[in-house]
Structure 1
């Protein structure tokens, strides 16, 4: 029997996730190079790209993905927009940020944030 997924069923693919470091929270988010190369196409000669993500509250955030001019090691980072997101969400070192693509929303990028909490002796990643 062949099962078809309904259009209303959310199709979500994780692009990357990262546990936040002191630099991620205080200065800029170091974005995974492999994820950047796979999912973001910078124009020839360009070293930055603005893109939008939607959080779980429906708010849209614009981040700037910036790379060094040396193509061998681009070291992508999120600059513009990232500090405001950190402040608004109250992010701390050790929190997890997950970038996702929502397949049924024309490839809309999403962002999720989670905090590791201990509950009854067990660790859980709770949504923020």
Structure 2
């Protein structure tokens, strides 16, 4: 699986994480089962267990992480708009990376306006370039 990603939605942080269909290649469901427990370890070594469910029938299984996911969301302070990145790890397992959306507030003096008004700009860190 090449890397895929999505922005965290309200559903993702309040109910369940809906996974891209591509991730099913890296999640092994027992025969005749529509859910399986997955174990993830974060960079600090903390172990998390999520229940992964899929639709039992139909052409679109729609996998999602349910039980345990919201505890992870709270512990990592995941918010709407954070980027969730899905990729295959070296061992063939599914990896999920969370990139926090960071906003900086900049105050810029408008040099073209004689009233010297101040404008509030909101930019993400990835838009800034440092030299």
Shift of 1:73: 1.6
Structure 1 window deviating more from structure 2 (92-101 vs 41-50): it is 92-101
Give the TM-score taking structure 2 as reference length.
Answer: 0.70
Residue in 2 that maps onto 1:98: 85
Hey, what's the Cα distance between the residues in 1 that align with 2:45 and 2:92? 15
Checking the alignment, whether the CA contact within 8 Å between 1:54 and 1:111 is kept in structure 2 is no
Hey, what's the Cα distance between the residues in 1 that align with 2:71 and 2:77? 10
Residue correspondences, number: 110
Residue in 2 that maps onto 1:43: 30
Q: Where in structure 2 are there 5+ consecutive unaligned residues?
A: 107-122
Give the TM-score taking structure 1 as reference length.
Answer: 0.71
Q: Using a 3 Å threshold, how does the CA distance of structure 1 residues 44 and 75 change in structure 2: closer, same or farther? A: same
Runs (4+) off by over 4 Å: 106-110, 119-122
Higher RCO structure, 1 or 2 (CA under 8 Å, sep 6+)? 1
Structure 1 window deviating more from structure 2 (115-124 vs 53-62): it is 115-124
Q: Where in structure 1 are there 5+ consecutive unaligned residues?
A: 1-12
